[in-house]
Amino acid sequence: LAINRDESREQVVEFIDELGLTFTPLLDLGAVVSDEYQIQNMPTTYFLNEAGEVTAVHLGALIDIQLDEYLALTINGS
């Protein structure tokens, strides 16, 4: 799930098309979701397990090794 609160719909669609992504991001223009999760930095990445529990939060850009570690934590629980 990707959430955008700063750019217009047109800018987001263009970005998604450029990257060839196959999912539709949430446009959080009223910052409802951002406020609920107290997101102040962009990007912010939340990792959720199958039960919907937040297993990790990362502020800023992720590098591959960090992503792998967070995914392992989320999937394996350790």
Q: pLDDT digits over 20-29, tens only?
A: 988 888 899 8
User: Is beta strand 3-4 parallel, antiparallel or unpaired with respect to 44-48?
Assistant: unpaired
Question: Which value, to the nearest 10 degrees, does the dihedral of the CA atoms of residues 47, 52, 35, 67 take?
Answer: 0
pLDDT tens profile 2-59: 888 888 999 999 999 998 988 888 899 888 988 988 888 888 898 999 999 999 999 9
* Cβ partners under 8 Å of residue 64, min gap 6: none
